[in-house]
Structure 1
Amino acid sequence: MAKILIVDDAAFMRMMLKDIFIKAGHEIVAEAGNGNEAAEKYIEFHPDLVTMDITMPDCDGLEGLSKIMEANSNAKVVMCSAMGQQAMVLDAVKRGAKDFIVKPFQAEKVIASVNNVLNN
């Protein structure tokens, strides 16, 4: 069982991911709505893994990823992207993201990605 921080500005997206992770036996330790909150919650809760949306107001997922990587260069962050955000995904990988999952979420792909990142 992993402790997970879910970051997305859309509450329904957080709910979808939460549902997928809880059914797979993981624990949601915190949720955040932008990159600044994500970094704060990461430092506060020390999750095993973070799912991070790319497009968010105030502080986007790329900035949030950079802040988390500054706090812990070994952080395991999986980016969540909509179709057509390939350039942003590549940027995220350069900044330290371990994988990415594409919206709309498919439970089996989300779990496969998360398990892969947690086990490496």
Structure 2
Amino acid sequence: MSYTFLVVDDTSFMRKMAADCLKQYGHTVAGEAVNGKEAVHKYKAIQPQVVMMDLTMPEMNGIEAIKEILKVDAEAVILVCSASNQKDMIQEALDAGAVGYLMKPFKPDYMNEIIKKYAEPHLKSAEAEISEEAATAETSSRNTKETEKAESEIAAAVETVKDETDEVDTEAAARETVAQTEEEVTLLVDHKASPERVNEPNHEIAKPAPTRNSKIKFLTSYMCNWEEEVQGETKSFAFTYTENDQNVCLEMIDASNEKHSIRLSLDGFRDLYGWLEQRLEEGKNLR
């Protein structure tokens, strides 16, 4: 399923990475914010289904923004994003009401798994409540229409009886006929307007709604990003390594926002680093 997102991060590079990953899985980025204060304002205006919240930002940090958004909407679904192994800060955000977290750098598959695991259960729960409310409203409306129809039938039947009793010689016989007819019609109304009186077995099984602050395993991620001029053009770089992933990734975004990436195994990166050190040392010796 696809959802609408509000991406909150003070770095444009990271917002773009997050947006690219989300779009690969059909999600919609409804808005972006550069700090917690702007995130609260845009949440009120956009009403996204999920918020991706950075923790360290100017003006208002992620934890304060989470608390403010939950004041606006107690059912808001917020995922925390962290670029470092700040376990205490992440836990504080989860205690404040975030439903889960993911580590930077963003990867499409990893991000989608986090959305399915932590955000989607809360979204499905909210959708189920809305469907249940709609079904209840529809049932109530149907019962109201049936009641009105039954009441109309009562009025018509009573009028018919009264007309017929005008032709009866005995007033007592007429009253008896009217009373009998009203009793029969009343039974008809009770049967049509009160279906809840029928004792039918209830086969619905109540499922507990997902709870926040589930047991979440922390992962360690290392990341370095910087900007520099290359042949007169400003380019953004990011070098990343994530726990349990024996690969490193170097990404570059040029001035036209085109992304280039190179992935190396950790062992290959070590060999490259050793070779470079050796060449530099040989160059020094030649001087």
Q: Same fold (TM over 0.5)?
A: yes
Structure 1: any 5+ residue segments left out of the alignment? none
Residue equivalent to 1:99:
100
Matches within 5 A, 1:63-74: 63-74=64-75
For residues 90 and 57 of structure 1, what CA distance do their matches in structure 2 show?
20
**Cα deviation digits, residues 18-73 of structure 1 (max 9, x gap):** 00011100011100000010011101000000000001111111111111111111
Separation in 2 of the partners of 1:67 and 1:6? 16
| Segment drifting more, 79-88 vs 41-50 | 79-88
Partner Cα separation in structure 1 for residue 47 and residue 73 of structure 2? 10
Q: Counterpart of 1:51?
A: 52
Judge conservation of contact 1:49–1:118 (CA < 8 Å) in 2. no
Matched, 1:15 2:16: yes
Residue ranges of structure 2 left out of the alignment (5+ in a row)? 123-287
Tell me, yes or no, if the aligned pair for 2:24 and 2:108 is still in contact at 8 Å. Answer: no
Native 8 Å contact 2:33 2:39 kept in 1: yes
Range that drifts further, 48-57 or 98-107: 98-107
Structure ID, larger Rg: 2
Q: CA RMSD in A?
A: 0.9
Check whether the contact 1:52–1:80 (CA below 8 A) recurs between aligned residues.
yes
Q: Which residue identity lines up with residue 48 of structure 1 in the other structure?
A: Q
Calculate the TM-score normalised by the size of structure 2: 0.41
In the comparison of the two structures, how many residue pairs are matched?
A: 120
Cα distance in structure 2, aligned partners of 1:21 and 1:82: 18
Q: Which has the higher contact order (CA 8 A, sep 6+)?
A: 1
